[in-house]
């Protein structure tokens, strides 16, 4: 009887310990609210599932807490901002967060910081954030998901992102203000419609490691020039992949030159372009213009000197005539 009693006690203790470990190491208090944040806890880490602001909360500069319920906040769920009512203007995210959800329910969002603990920007992450103008991507981010910045019409500058190796389809689709974005050296492919509708982008360089350009990658864009560093980069076989008015710069006998010839695009040998992207033809044109201007200025100077000499000669002649008249006998 004593052994059975002791065994029962041991089992009870084990069960209680398991429950305690489940509470503190597993999921705790699902859908717990703290202020405007709803969160759950798994493995001792808090995940924000929802943010709820009142109707009077306009122009909010939101600071995501680094701790909720005593647990570090490490992720923000996809649906977090679906219930928001206030107008969020900016978001500050703590270094504890490793996983971002979606901010697509925030059309008034103008500014957001991404900590260097984040490794990816999910699909549709900033969908329709039409007031977001610039963003700094830390080196920790390795991928930009499909449609991540789709419809961010005010976005003109994407900076950083040196650690990115993957950019999804339609990642910058419809970013009509985008002018500044350097494709990181680690990226290997450009997906379908990645930069379609980027009407303010004037030039872009395709790094050497990129093996392929997807369908309609630059459809409807405003590119003046596109530079291919590798002769092997495959370009999707369609005249809509690169805009008709775009000059293609690349190696002779490369896939870029083949595309240019097939679809009647202007082509420039990359070896004739300097580090600033200026071609020898551009230099020659500029030199000719400067030479013409110099000749024009020289002609003006010679004409002016000629006029001055004529006036001087006339003055001398007039003076001589006056002297002769004065010396004539009265």
What would the pLDDT profile of 272-322 be if each residue is shown by its tens digit? 876 555 555 666 677 788 888 888 888 889 888 888 878 877 777 766 666
Does 13 share its domain with 149? no
Look-up of token digits 């082509």: 267
- Domain membership of residue 300 (yes or no) is no
Does 94 share its domain with 133? no
Question: How far apart are the C-alpha atoms of 169 and 140, rounded to whole Å?
Answer: 21
Does 99 share its domain with 158? no
Last-in-domain residue among 90, 112, 134: 112
Does 134 share its domain with 211? yes
| 205, two tokens | 């360089």
Q: 273: which residues sit within 8 A by CB, 6+ positions away?
A: 227, 249, 279, 280
In total, how many domains does the chain have?
A: 2
Mean pLDDT value across residues 92-112: 93
pLDDT range class, residue 26, cuts 50, 70, 90: very low
Q: Over the stretch 42-53, which tens digit does the pLDDT of each residue have?
A: 999 999 999 987
Does 31 share its domain with 58? yes
| 260, two tokens | 């240019």
- Domain membership of residue 265 (yes or no) is yes
- Conformation bin of residue 62: beta by default, left when phi > 0, alpha when psi is -120 to 50: beta
Question: How far apart are the C-alpha atoms of 35 and 121, rounded to whole Å?
Answer: 27
Question: How far apart are the C-alpha atoms of 27 and 97, rounded to whole Å?
Answer: 18
Does 190 share its domain with 173? yes
pLDDT, residue 305, reads 87
Last-in-domain residue among 238, 255, 273: 273
- Domain membership of residue 184 (yes or no) is yes
Does 106 share its domain with 145? no
pLDDT, residue 125, reads 96
Q: 155: which residues sit within 8 A by CB, 6+ positions away?
A: 129, 132, 133, 134, 135, 149, 172, 175, 177, 178
Does 163 share its domain with 196? yes
Asked if 200 and 156 count as a contact pair (C-beta separation under 8 A), the reply is: yes
Phi (first) and psi of residue 275, to 5 degrees: -65, -25
Runs of H (alpha helix) within 214-279: 255-262
pTM tops 0.85 = no
Residues in the chain: 330
3-state SS class at 68: strand
The CATH number of residue 14's host domain is 3.80.10
Strand partners, 249: 227, 268
Show the domain range for 101.
1-112
- Domain membership of residue 91 (yes or no) is yes
Does 51 share its domain with 163? no
Q: Which residue has the higher pLDDT, 227 or 310?
A: 227
Last-in-domain residue among 273, 292, 323: 273
pLDDT, residue 148, reads 97
Does 72 share its domain with 218? no
Does 148 share its domain with 264? yes
Asked if residue 22 has pLDDT above 60, the reply is no
DSSP-derived secondary structure letter, 39: E
- Domain membership of residue 280 (yes or no) is no
* Helix, strand, coil distribution of the chain in percent, nearest 5: 25, 25, 50
CA–chain centroid gap for 22, Å, is: 43
- Domain membership of residue 2 (yes or no) is yes
The CATH number of residue 127's host domain is 3.80.10.10
Strand 247-250 and strand 225-228: pairing?
parallel
- Domain membership of residue 194 (yes or no) is yes
Q: Over the stretch 152-175, which tens digit does the pLDDT of each residue have?
A: 999 999 999 999 999 999 999 999
Does 147 share its domain with 250? yes
Asked if 257 and 246 count as a contact pair (C-beta separation under 8 A), the reply is: no
């Amino acid at each position: 009887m004593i052994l059975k009693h002791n065994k029962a006690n041991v089992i009870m203790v084990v069960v209680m310990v398991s429950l305690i470990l489940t509470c503190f190491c597993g999921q705790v208090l699902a859908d717990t609210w703290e202020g405007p944040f709803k969160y759950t806890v798994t493995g001792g880490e808090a995940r924000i599932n929802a943010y709820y602001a009142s109707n009077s909360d306009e122009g909010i500069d939101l600071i995501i807490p680094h701790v909720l319920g005593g647990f570090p906040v490490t992720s923000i769920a996809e649906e977090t901002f679906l219930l928001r009512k206030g107008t969020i203007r900016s978001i500050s995210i703590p270094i504890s967060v490793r996983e971002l959800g979606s901010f697509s329910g925030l059309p008034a969002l103008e500014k957001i910081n991404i900590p260097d603990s984040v490794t990816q920007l999910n699909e549709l992450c900033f969908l329709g954030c039409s007031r977001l103008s610039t963003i700094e991507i830390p080196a920790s981010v390795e991928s930009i998901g499909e449609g991540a910045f789709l419809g961010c019409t005010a976005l003109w500058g994407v900076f950083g992102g040196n650690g990115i190796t993957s950019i999804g389809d339609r990642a910058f689709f419809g970013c009509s203000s985008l002018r500044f974005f350097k494709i990181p050296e680690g990226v290997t492919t450009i997906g379908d419609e990645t930069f379609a509708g980027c009407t303010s982008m004037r030039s872009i360089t395709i790094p050497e490691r990129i093996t392929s350009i997807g369908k309609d990658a630059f459809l409807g864009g405003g590119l003046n020039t596109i530079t291919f560093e590798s002769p092997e980069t495959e370009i999707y076989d369609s005249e809509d992949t690169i805009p008709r008015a775009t000059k293609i710069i690349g190696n002779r006998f490369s896939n870029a030159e083949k595309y240019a010839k097939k679809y009647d695009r202007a082509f420039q040998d990359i070896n004739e372009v300097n580090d600033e992207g200026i071609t020898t033809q551009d230099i020659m044109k500029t030199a000719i213009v400067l030479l013409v201007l110099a000749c024009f200025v020289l002609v003006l100077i010679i004409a002016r000197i000629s006029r001055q000499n004529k006036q001087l000669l006339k003055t001398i002649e007039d003076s001589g005539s006056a002297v002769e008249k004065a010396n004539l006998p009265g």
